[in-house]
Amino acid sequence: MPKDFIRDIITQDIENGVYDRPITTRFPPEPNGFLHIGHAKSIVLNFGVAQEFGGVCHLRFDDTNPETEDMVYVESIMRDVRWLGYDWGEHLYFASDYYEQLYQFAEELIRRGLAYVDSLSEEEIRAYRGTVTQPGRESPYRHRSVEENLNLFRRMRAGEFPDGAHVLRAKIDMASPNMLLRDPILYRIKHARHYRTGDQWCIYPMYDFAHPLSDGIERITHSLCTLEFENNRAIYDWLVDHLIPPPQPRQYEFARLELDYTVLSKRYLRQLVEEGHVRGWDDPRMPTLSGLRRRGVTPEAIRAFVERVGVAKTNSRVELALFEHTIRDDLNTRAPRVMAVLNPLKVIITNYPEGQTELIEASYWPRDIPKEGTRPVPFSREIYIERDDFALEPPKGYKRLAPGRSVRLRHAYVITCDEVIQDPATGEVVALHCSYLPDSLGTRPEGVKVWSAIHWVDAQASIPAEVRLYDRLFRTPDPYDVEEGGSFLDNLNPDSLKIVTTARVEPSVLRDPPDTRYQFERLGYFIQDSEDSRPDALVFNRIITLRDRWAQKTRPQPAPTTRPRSRPQPPPQEPVIPEKESLSEARARARAQNPNLQAAYQTLQERLGLTPQQADIITGNIDQVRFFHQAVTTYPQGGQALANWFINRLLALLKERPITDLPFDGAAFARLVKQVEEGIIHQRQGQQVLEIMVRTGQDPEAIIAAQGMRKVSDEDALRAVVEQTLAAHPEKVAAYRQGKTGLLGFFMGQVMGATQGQADPQVAKRLLEEALLGK
């Protein structure tokens, strides 16, 4: 299983013993639509990590909006998750089963003064919320008494108010820069019938309230969701920290899956179905799990695909080629080979006895698939081959049948094209007269050039079938990339479905279970359509084509369209460019307001020779100036070094904290720098000491002594280590001498390791280079 940042976090949590229970995750769909391949990523992640870490994964329906949800979705979702190969055991839950508990949580918040009933209208609430740049204003109802809130909330539940009359809101911060924290709505009144609880409730919890608390109720440990919920984590934590006993669940966000040539938003998928652009939610062109299932894609392929994509935090759009590769890879070892001809061209084998039929035992599997099994394939005087497999005038590189040329009929004889029968009116080729080599069954004929092997079916014994050829639903990698005012429907691929009614398949398929996936040799992978295929009227779906290097070579790529992109345009630039204050500008402003800072800024440059940039960073605030001043007083010769250490090392360890948090002063800092400058220890050791100082506040001298740190610059001693290192890695030495100079870092690492980090890196590097180049 690939590693990713989520698995790293879980591994650490386990190591640190954070949780008192097994790792518990959940897959939490809202039952208002069908699952698609994007959900598969979430399912595989949630169930996958639970399995790997010996935990459990719950299936929970987040059904808090009665208006859109339905039992049919619940059932289809359960079916799809099971089909993907996952089992939630007894852990099937519904947020709607928690309504009473959630209600009690809400009352508790009210009693603790953390929630209130707001009676503003929807429009007013929107107006009071402010904008992303302007803080919101408090509702006049924000300071109602606990009693009044409780009374109102209970009456909301009792159904005394119409929709929209009141809402329950958390009392957080109307001025928060995070919009979601501006007193988020917890409950709304909806006199709507819920598919599970019926008319029992007329107030329903919002996602932001129900989700974290449901996680809490189920004792989830890791709540994994997609990136767009990053801002919601603040409410998640607020609720869970107030209402759920520790150790609480924590939310982590990963990037949702996006796929080339595909839309995955519920809204657009619904539009495709409702406007009839596809034949339904399970149309084999749809990215829904039901569509992929009907198409013939296996759950194993889907799992393998999403695992290959990986889990990270970068928004990404995966190439369809990867999905297609995974599907082929899966089917290659799984699908028996049979023959079918899509576009038949009759071939009469003139020297084959009329009325005779023989049965050829043909293997279901090619040499490289370690499986056994054969079926009889009838062969007689009249057969069909693929029209594409014959060319009157073969282009350069063409390896198939042509006048005078010979090819192998797969599993059967070698034939030679003697005569082409054409329609005198149109010139269309209507049949071929060929002769066969009776001795060529299973052996390579001598003295004949056999150009290739082609597939065929017997004219009499083969069975007619309808074949549906599917292609990508959209013609552009990003279907949302549309002309101004256009719609994603403009990018629909008009050729996403081609129905072939002329196809003929070999008769053996009638003996197989109807859900058998085949490779039709040289054509692709196929499966009978689960809805429309009948034994007396076969219908096949093409799951995926074979990789076709010939087609790739002959069809010169239609020059990549360099049509100018018309993504959602950023709003027309305002004439006034609002100045965003950067950190450097903030520092400049601080200096302008504080003459002491300004003076320090000047002094550092004039007395110590610091660059304006160095001085700028150090004089960011008065505490830093004080600290640095103390350091310079302690070690007056160390100006430049002190500045570098301060900026590059100390600030890095400080992160966002103020410098006054440090458990040591500028003098101790300066003494450390001095140790390095005077060669007692080297740079890297100095960094280690500084880290310990930040952690413990100990004196640098004490740390150096305790760690037994020193710098080894003795050339003879180091030369011995260098020799040993090179001797231990002869192949790396060779590679280095070949020009892979990046390996110097590797050798340095080895030398430093061998000397417990005490080697003087400058000396070591010189010796290393001498030894590597000298020989």
Partner RNA sequence: UGGGGGAUAGUUUAAUCGGCAGAACGGGUGACUCUGGAUCACUUAGUCGGGGUUCGAAUCCCUGUCCCCCAGCCA
Catalytic residue positions, numbered: 30, 256, 266
* Residues within window 445-474 making contact with RNA, judged by CB under 7 A: 452-455
**How many residues are present in the chain?**
775
- Does 516 bind RNA (CB under 7 A)? Our answer is no
Pairing of strands 406-409, 463-470: unpaired
Options 34-42, 347-355, 639-647, 702-710: segment touching RNA (CB under 7 A): 639-647
Across 651-769, the runs of DSSP E, i.e. the strands, are none
Choosing from 511, 553, 555, 775, the residue that interacts with RNA (CB under 7 A) is 553
CA distance 463 to 341: 10
Q: Does 121 bind RNA (CB under 7 A)?
A: yes
Note whether 607 binds RNA by CB under 7 A.
Answer: no
Q: Select the residue interacting with RNA from 101, 104, 200, 316 (CB under 7 A).
A: 316
Residue 521 engages RNA in binding (rule: CB under 7 A): yes
Q: Using the rule CB under 7 A, which residue among 102, 106, 206, 733 binds RNA?
A: 206
CB of 616 vs RNA, minimal distance in Å: 7
**Exposure pattern of 227-239 as b/e (b: 16+ CB <10 Å)?**
eebeebbbbbebb
Our finding on whether 684 is near RNA (CB under 7 A) is yes
Sign for the CA dihedral angle at 329, 335, 339, 344 comes to: negative
Reference 541, options 521, 558, 524; nearest CA is: 524
φ/ψ (deg, to 5) at 263: -110, 145
- Torsion 169-170-174-178 (CA) sign: negative
**Nearer Cβ to RNA (570/708):** 570
Among 84, 172, 412, 604, binds RNA (CB under 7 A): 412
The stretch near RNA (CB under 7 A) out of 72-80, 273-281, 508-516, 549-557 is: 549-557
Size of the site for RNA (CB under 7 A): 130
Burial grade of 633 (CB within 10 A; 0-12, 13-18, 19 or more): exposed
Is 47 a binding residue for RNA by CB under 7 A? The answer is: no
Residue 604 near RNA by CB under 7 A: no
Site residues for RNA, 724-763, by CB under 7 A, read 732, 740, 742-746, 748-749, 752-753, 761-762
Type of residue at 228: E
For residues 430 and 427, what is the distance between their CA atoms, to the nearest angstrom? 9
Nearer to RNA, 279 or 765 (CB): 765
Q: Is 617 in the site for RNA (CB under 7 A)?
A: yes
Region 11-30 residues binding RNA, contact defined as CB under 7 A: 30
Residue 203 touches RNA, criterion: CB under 7 A: no
Amino acid at 147: E
* 3-class SS of residue 290: helix
Is-contact 730 743, C-beta < 8 A? no
Site for RNA in 345-384 (CB under 7 A): 366-369
Closest to 751 in 3D by CA, of 734, 738, 732: 732
Stretch that binds RNA, among 346-354, 429-437, 545-553, 590-598 (CB under 7 A): 545-553
Establish if 321 lies at the interface with RNA (CB under 7 A).
yes
Rounded distance between C-alpha atoms, residue 136 and residue 184, angstroms:
12
Stretch that binds RNA, among 71-79, 181-189, 343-351, 371-379 (CB under 7 A): 181-189
Both tokens assigned to 262 = 């595909």
The answer to whether 185 contacts RNA (rule: CB under 7 A) is: yes
Nearer to RNA, 215 or 253 (CB): 253
Q: Does 178 bind RNA (CB under 7 A)?
A: yes
Of the pair 397, 424, the CB lying nearest RNA is at: 397
The reply on whether position 651 binds RNA by CB under 7 A is: yes
Helix (H, G, I), strand (E, B) or coil at 537: strand
192's torsion region: left (phi>0), alpha (psi -120 to 50) or beta? Answer: beta
**Is 680 among the residues that bind RNA (CB under 7 A)?**
no
By CB under 7 A, tell whether 100 contacts RNA.
no
- Minimum distance from residue 189 beta carbon to RNA (Å): 6
Amino acid at 398: Y
Alpha-carbon distance of 294 to 278, in angstroms, equals 13
Is 64 near RNA (CB under 7 A)?
yes
Which residue's CB is nearer to RNA, number 227 or number 706?
227
Q: Select from 431-439, 526-534, 647-655, 709-717 the region that touches RNA (CB under 7 A).
A: 647-655
Least CB distance to RNA at residue 549 (A): 4
CB of 548 to RNA, least distance (A): 5
Interaction of residue 192 with RNA, rule CB under 7 A: no
Token readout for 669 is 């800092």
The answer to whether 699 touches 665, Cβ cutoff 8 Å, is no
Tokens 């003098």 belong to which residue?
A: 667
Instruction: Note whether 683 binds RNA by CB under 7 A.
Output: yes
Q: How far is the CB of 471 from RNA (least distance, A)?
A: 16
C-beta separation of 587 from 651 below 8 A: no
588 near RNA, rule: CB under 7 A = no
Name which of residues 469 to 508 contact RNA (CB under 7 A): none
Cα–Cα distance between 317 and 314 in angstroms, integer?
10
- Of the two residues 262 and 687, which places its CB atom closer to RNA in the complex? 687
Q: Is the peptide bond before 353 cis (omega within 30 degrees of 0)?
A: no
Instruction: Outline where 532-677 has alpha helix (H).
Output: 549-554, 583-593, 595-608, 612-618, 622-634, 639-644, 651-654, 666-677
Asked if 191 interacts with RNA (CB under 7 A), we say no
Stretch that binds RNA, among 151-159, 393-401, 627-635, 706-714 (CB under 7 A): 393-401
Q: To the nearest whole angstrom, how small is the minimum distance from the Cβ of residue 163 to RNA? A: 6
Q: Which of 17, 89, 198, 314 binds RNA (CB under 7 A)?
A: 314
Which residue in 350, 594, 644, 707 binds RNA (CB under 7 A)?
Answer: 644
Residue 114 Cβ, how far from RNA at the closest point, in Å? 18
Among 21, 112, 126, 498, binds RNA (CB under 7 A): 126
Among 28, 27, 77, residue whose Cα is nearest residue 48 = 27
| Rounded-to-integer distance, Cα 369 and Cα 376, Å | 19
Q: Are strands 524-528 and 517-520 parallel, antiparallel or unpaired?
A: antiparallel
Q: Does 623 bind RNA (CB under 7 A)?
A: no
Element (H, E) at 690: helix 683-696
Tokens found for residue 728 = 């231990």
From the list 96-104, 311-319, 507-515, 665-673, the region that binds RNA by CB under 7 A is: 311-319
Pick from 75, 108, 163, 418: which binds RNA (CB under 7 A)?
Answer: 163
Tokens standing for 64? 């808090």
Instruction: Give the pairing type, strands 56-61 and 24-27.
Output: parallel
Chain positions 266 to 305 lying near RNA, rule: CB under 7 A, are none
In this structure, what are the phi and psi dihedrals at residue 59, rounded to the nearest 5 degrees?
A: -100, 115
For residue 95 the two structure tokens come to 């947020």
